[in-house]
Amino acid sequence: MVVIIVFGGKLDRLIYIEMNVQGEAKTNRTYDAIVVGSGISGGWAAKELCEKGLKVLLLERGRNVEHIKDYSTTNKNPWDLPHRNRLTLSAYDNNPIQRKVAYAFNELSGNFFIQDSDHPYVQEKPFDWIRGYQVGGKSLLWARWVQRWSDLDFEANVKQGIGVDWPIRYKDIAPWYSYVEKFVGVSGTKEGIPHLPDGEFLPPMELNCVEKHFQDRLKKSHPGRHYIISRTANLTEAQEVHKKLGRGNCQYRDRCSTGCPFGGYFSSNSSTLPAAKATGNLTIEPFSVVHSVIYDEQKGRASGVRVIDTNTKEMSEYFSKIVFLNAATINTTLILLNSISNRFPTGLGNDSDTLGRHLMDHNYRGRATASVEGFEDMYYYGRRPAGTYLARFRNVGNDKQKDFVRGYAYACGSSRGGWGRGVNMDLIGSELKEGMTVPGPWSFGMTAMGEMLPHPDNRVTLDKEKKDAWGMPLVNINCQWRENEDAMTKDAVNSAAEMLEAAGFKDVTAFDNKQAPGLAIHELGTCRMGRDPKTSMLNEWNQMHAVKNVFVTDGACMTSSACQNPSITYMALTARAANHAVEELNRQNL
């Protein structure tokens, strides 16, 4: 069946003119699997399903971005750009949300973010929704930190009676972490920290001299706290699996968010999509907004998806045996809420009334900075595209906090200010020139990365009136920090100041920047996994309890948020779910 949509008139809904298309036309639109979204999780779904022999249609709402060819700014410097890497006034005005990612939303990488003015949503409470709509999604932009979860995270809900229990434990996902890490290429150090399990690491990047100093001082001032190089998806030593895809070693340029011509960091474009293409089983359709999942009431299963062509605004349908939803948390939930049928009047699979609920982000409000004296004769080599990580220590082992549950880690780093920063500008001649050859002073910064608890009223719904340019209902986001996050922030701010002072740093400033949820760009929850269909949407295989041939493996599936950067967990869950889906297809259970 092909459906053409007509917009406008006095109707507040799209009108569908339906035509029966059978035979060859339908066959041409039929695949073994449909994957929605080509970002980090969708790339993995496509790769795994293609490599297992399925014919896969990958639907992506944005434009195509071809690895290397379409990285238009990656070899440019600020002085090569019309506005020296600054935003124009109109780019600034049109993007009140995206511009908050100031380090990446600029002339070099801005083309991988959406334009806010083109993609509105309703904020019942402030929520900064950062997006990248193109082939590759946010995998082109991400900062590549990839810490594993442990059972401290998977067991927290059930032990504390918060939310619902995760239907899996660390042992279920550990082999899949290893599986994806080897393909991704993760640099890091093995530390033996029980709640931050070691992975399959390439050689680590190095701490600089001030970071090493902090590490030494912390061991003395706060024994048992672990300060390490971040585990990062950059190739410090490319392996055969990477070289086969044309990926090479990272060149320490720290320009990852422009794309990387060396394939030095993991993105869908450099890694999973080329692997999927190599099988000959992949079809990618960019410019395709998935509108909804088609539910076949008679068979009790999904038969495919409805798709709006972003250029013509025409709607059509594609069919498959299984559907993987990987449009990123909020968009996946939008698609499900928009998939209405007699059987599911409030959204596909929503028997539990949990669809759209328990939206989470990470709490990055706690910040601290300090200046560092000494080390004037030291510098660092290259531009390391990684930071440093202070692992969670709250509510771990014997540490028991009375004001909050769960915990936080810190992203940290030390660097020197720009060359000539410290120079006295009253100087002239050779003295001034001499001064300009000296780099600025050292500083040290910390950002707390805290867990957010799932709350049923932190919620995504569809706006009843407003629609976007393609006729999709606008998303309405109602999400706020609550008591636990506030108490945790307070502790994170105080602890940061205490550790910086103990390290002997000066001018310590620690504060709560009060940023709204969303800006950590780790939105998760809204279609959670769980053991009981009455209280969750997905089973232990990311498979919808009520519609077994639909899988959700992006952040929407998350039952809690832990405090680690989440994407490596989405990748491991996706590879695991794809494996299960194919086994079930082979057993003819789907």
Ligand X SMILES: Cc1cc2nc3c(=O)[nH]c(=O)nc-3n(C[C@H](O)[C@H](O)[C@H](O)COP(=O)(O)OP(=O)(O)OC[C@H]3O[C@@H](n4cnc5c(N)ncnc54)[C@H](O)[C@@H]3O)c2cc1C
Query: Does residue 364 interact with ligand X by CB under 6 A?
Result: no
Shortest Å, Cβ 493 to ligand X: 22
**What DSSP assignment string belongs to 413-442?**
EEEEPPBTTT--TT--HHHHHHHHTSB--E
Residues that bind ligand SF4 (CB under 6 A): 234, 250-256, 260, 262, 264-265, 385
The token duo for 178 is 């290893």
| Residue of 215, 528, 565, 581 that binds ligand X (CB under 6 A) | 565
Q: Cβ of residue 452: shortest distance to ligand X, in angstroms?
A: 14
Distance of alpha carbon 442 from alpha carbon 143, whole angstroms: 23
Q: Got the DSSP string for 241-255? A: HHHTTT-----S---
Residue 566 binds: one of ligand SF4, ligand X, none (C-beta under 5 to 8 A by kind): ligand X
Question: Which one of ligand X, ligand SF4, none is in contact with 570 (Cβ closer than 5 to 8 A by kind)?
Answer: ligand X
How deeply is 535 buried, as exposed, middle or buried, from its count of CB atoms within 10 A (0-12, 13-18, 19+)? middle
Span of 167-175, 247-255, 486-494, 566-574 interacting with ligand X by CB under 6 A: 566-574
- Using CB under 6 A as the binding rule, whether residue 141 contacts ligand X is answered as yes
Distances (CA, A) of 208 to 205, 215, 423, 512, 517: 10, 10, 23, 27, 32
Say how many Å lie between the first and final Cα of the chain, rounded.
Answer: 22
Cβ proximity of 500 and 442 under 8 Å: no
Q: Residue 44, class by beta-carbon neighbours within 10 Å (0-12 exposed, 13-18 middle, 19+ buried)?
A: buried
The option from ligand X, ligand SF4, none interacting with 41 (CB < 5 to 8 A, set by class) reads ligand X
Contacted by 521, from ligand X, ligand SF4, none: CB < 5 to 8 Å by type: ligand X
256 binds, among ligand X, ligand SF4, none (CB under 5 to 8 A by kind): ligand SF4
Cβ at position 74, least distance to ligand SF4 in Å: 7
Beta bridge partners of residue 460, listed in sequence order: 477
Among 95, 139, 489, 542, contact with ligand X (rule: CB under 6 A): 139
Instruction: Tell me the closest approach of the beta carbon of residue 125 to ligand SF4, in angstroms.
Output: 35
Smaller CB distance to ligand X: residue 387 or 454?
Answer: 387
In the complex, the smallest distance separating the C-beta of residue 553 from ligand SF4, rounded to whole angstroms, is: 25
Among ligand X, ligand SF4, none, what does residue 60 contact (CB within 5–8 Å per kind)?
A: ligand X
- Per CB under 6 A, the list member of 173, 276, 290, 497 interacting with ligand X is 290
Shorter beta-carbon distance to ligand X: residue 208 or 288:
288
In this chain, which stretch among 77-85, 136-144, 201-209, 530-538 interacts with ligand X, using CB under 6 A? 136-144
Residue 493 binds ligand X, judged by CB under 6 A: no
Q: Which residue type sits at 258?
A: T
User: Which residue from 49, 101, 275, 396 is in contact with ligand X, where contact means CB under 6 A?
Assistant: 101
Question: Under a CB-based contact definition with an 8 Å cutoff, are residues 328 and 131 in contact?
Answer: yes
> Is residue 238 within 8 Å of 185, Cβ to Cβ?
yes
Cβ distance to ligand X smaller for residue 222 or 313: 313
Q: Is 104 exposed, middle or buried (0-12, 13-18, 19+ CB in 10 A)?
A: buried
Residues contacting ligand X: total by CB under 6 A: 40
Which of 58, 130, 477, 493 touches ligand X (CB under 6 A)?
Answer: 130
- Taking the least distance from each CB to ligand SF4, the nearer of 250 and 475 is 250
Interacting residues of 344 by C-beta distance below 8 A, sequence separation 6+: 295, 350, 351, 546
Residue 557 interface partner, choices ligand X, ligand SF4, none, CB cut-off 5-8 Å depending on type: none
Residue 89, phi then psi, degrees to nearest 5: -60, -40
Q: Strand pairing of 442-450 and 366-372?
A: antiparallel
Q: Which of 446, 448, 555, 557 binds ligand X (CB under 6 A)?
A: 555
Should residue 156 be labelled a site residue for ligand X when binding is judged by CB under 6 A? no
Closer residue to ligand SF4 in complex, CB, 71/551 = 71
Q: Which of ligand X, ligand SF4, none interacts with 228 (beta carbon under 5 to 8 A by kind)?
A: none
Give every CB contact of residue 567 below 8 A, 6+ residues apart in sequence: 40, 41, 142, 146
Residue 571 interacts with ligand X (CB under 6 A)? no
Cβ distance to ligand SF4 smaller for residue 187 or 536: 187
What are the C-alpha distances in Å from 183 to residues 176, 237, 328, 387, 552? 11, 13, 21, 22, 22
- Among 436, 538, 529, CA closest to 165: 529
Residue whose beta carbon is closest to ligand SF4: 264
Give helix 567-586 / helix 170-184 axis angle, nearest 10°. 100
Binding region for ligand X (CB under 6 A) out of 58-66, 85-93, 203-211, 212-220: 58-66
* Binding positions for ligand X, rule: CB under 6 A: 36-42, 59-62, 101, 104, 130, 132-133, 137-139, 141-145, 288-290, 326-328, 331, 335, 521-522, 554-555, 565-567, 570
